[in-house]
């Protein structure tokens, strides 16, 4: 009782301190940095002790969640520290993300984002206050669950709206983005049409998972003419369309397992990798499985190898083929026509006509499947077909 009283009076003092800095305009910080602009206030009648509890609370398990979160890629990846300038900070830091959220998530096109996101030189990693707003809401509901518009990296295919319920919070960052000077991939080319790649980082950044789930015909991969593309049941499975990424990435830990806010599926366990497949094994999905040896409905597509292993191994094959033709450098960047690893506006990598476009498509698919990072698991049927067709293309002269 005494302890609880002490804890509550501590937060009360903090509350007063916080209220004191809540002015109409917060003090002016050094230029380009934010001060208390993100303070969102407290919900009326909020009970601090519900979450700030001296013991482990069994309502929210805040203490436990905090330590799960500390192991997440959001923290351990470390990019929150060095990708801290605008507009990168809008996805790589909590502070920049809250700025985007408060402005209603303007499109990723540069002018719109620049006007709301500032440099964050002392940022924190994507944390509780990015995905939730526990003080202003008084609970751990998501900051937003609104559907998200994904910028289309494919000429001729419009921006796509995706709705994965609770997972929409993730898609506000795990989404493709234009770097402004990168040409879009084309769906078709006439005999003399060219595609000039003017950057060695010719891909729509790293968050392509949403496009991978949407799959066929939605502008994720380059679909080779004359081939048919289908999606895995993951694209339409009702659990995934309601809960999205957390369905698999936030499955609760069980005895001897990892999970929850670590967001991790594969994690090191001794000298091997263990997998938290509780999400995959939930009722109505895969009865018994291990991601590493997974041979599901896509088994026939991989000769029984399993999608995860197949995609990892054949991505290496595709990289080797692209390197042999001087399209990809050994460090994984697009090579210029002069053979350097720095395609640029003065020495672009130029692909000509329908045959050239197919080679560019194979390069594009390499980055798409690689940056999706799931080893094809997000949409095995689609990823495997794109990979096979890209390899077939690169084996042609």
Give the pair of three-digit tokens for residue 362: 């194979």
Minimum CB distance to ligand HEC, residue 247 (Å): 5
Closest to 208 (Cα-Cα) out of 164, 127, 152, 147: 152
Sole window of 201-209, 217-225, 360-368, 384-392 interacting with ligand HEC (rule: CB under 6 A):
201-209
- CA 274 to chain centroid, in Å, comes to 22
| Residue number with CB closer to ligand HEC (224 or 247) | 247
- Give the N- to C-terminal CA distance of the chain in Å, as an integer: 78
Interface with ligand HEC, residue 365, by CB under 6 A: no
| Residue number with CB closer to ligand HEC (107 or 156) | 107
User: Other C-beta atoms within 10 Å of 11: how many?
Assistant: 14
Sites for ligand HEC among residues 17-76 (CB under 6 A) = 42, 46-48, 50-52, 60, 62, 65-66, 69, 73-74
Sites for ligand HEC among residues 85-144 (CB under 6 A) = 87-88, 90-92, 97, 108, 126-128, 130-132, 134-135, 138-140, 142
Sole window of 79-87, 218-226, 347-355, 385-393 interacting with ligand HEC (rule: CB under 6 A):
79-87
Residue from 167, 219, 221, 361 binding ligand HEC (CB under 6 A)? 167
Interface with ligand HEC, residue 206, by CB under 6 A: yes
Minimum CB distance to ligand HEC, residue 321 (Å): 23
| Residue number with CB closer to ligand HEC (32 or 354) | 32
- Which residue reads 């679909």 in tokens? 223
Residue from 195, 265, 360, 383 binding ligand HEC (CB under 6 A)? 265
Sole window of 80-88, 191-199, 221-229, 313-321 interacting with ligand HEC (rule: CB under 6 A):
80-88
Residue 12 phi, psi dihedral angles, 5° rounding: -65, -40
C-alpha span between 234 and 231 (Å, rounded): 8
To 5 degrees, how large is the angle CA 218–CA 221–CA 225?
A: 90
Closest to 224 (Cα-Cα) out of 322, 326, 364: 364
Interface with ligand HEC, residue 378, by CB under 6 A: yes
C-alpha span between 50 and 2 (Å, rounded): 16
Residue from 120, 209, 302, 335 binding ligand HEC (CB under 6 A)? 209
Sites for ligand HEC among residues 220-249 (CB under 6 A) = 234, 240, 243-249
What sign results for the dihedral spanned by CA atoms 387, 390, 396, 397? negative
**Residue 87 preceded by cis peptide, ω within 30:** yes
């Amino acid at each position: 009782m005494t302890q609880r009283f002490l804890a509550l009076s501590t937060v009360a003092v903090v509350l007063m301190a916080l209220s004191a800095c809540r002015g109409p305009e917060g003090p002016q910080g050094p230029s380009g940095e934010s001060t208390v602009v993100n303070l969102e206030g407290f919900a009326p009648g909020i009970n601090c002790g519900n979450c700030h509890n001296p013991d482990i609370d069994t309502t929210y398990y805040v203490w436990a969640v905090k330590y799960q979160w500390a192991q997440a890629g959001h923290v351990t990846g470390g990019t929150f520290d060095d990708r801290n300038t605008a507009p990168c900070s809008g996805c790589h830091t909590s502070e920049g993300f809250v700025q985007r959220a408060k402005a209603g998530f303007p499109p990723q096109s540069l002018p719109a984002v620049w006007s709301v996101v500032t440099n964050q030189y002392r940022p924190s990693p994507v944390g509780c206050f990015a995905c939730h707003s526990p003080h202003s809401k008084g609970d751990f509901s998501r900051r937003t669950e609104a559907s998200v518009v994904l910028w289309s990296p494919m000429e001729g295919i419009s921006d796509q709206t995706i709705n994965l319920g609770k997972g929409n919070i993730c898609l506000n960052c795990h989404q493709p983005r234009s770097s402004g000077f990168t040409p879009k991939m084309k769906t078709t080319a006439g005999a003399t049409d060219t595609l000039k790649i003017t950057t060695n980082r010719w891909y729509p950044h790293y968050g392509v998972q949403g496009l991978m789930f949407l799959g066929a015909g939605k502008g994720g991969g380059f679909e080779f003419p004359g081939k048919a593309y289908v999606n895995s049941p993951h694209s339409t499975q009702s659990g995934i369309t309601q809960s999205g990424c957390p369905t698999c990435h936030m499955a609760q830990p069980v005895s001897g397992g990892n999970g929850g806010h670590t967001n991790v599926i594969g994690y090191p366990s001794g000298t091997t990798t263990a997998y938290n497949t509780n999400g995959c094994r939930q009722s109505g999905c895969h009865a018994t499985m291990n991601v590493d040896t997974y041979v599901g409905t896509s088994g026939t597509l991989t000769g029984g190898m399993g999608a995860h292993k197949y995609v990892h191994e054949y991505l290496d094959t595709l990289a080797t083929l692209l390197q042999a033709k001087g399209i990809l450098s050994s460090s994984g960047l697009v090579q210029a026509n002069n053979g350097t690893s720095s395609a640029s506006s003065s020495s672009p990598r130029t692909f000509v006509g329908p045959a050239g476009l197919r080679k560019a498509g194979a390069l594009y698919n390499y980055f798409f499947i690689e940056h999706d990072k799931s080893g094809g698991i997000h949409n095995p049927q689609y990823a495997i077909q794109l990979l096979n067709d890209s390899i077939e293309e690169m084996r042609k002269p």
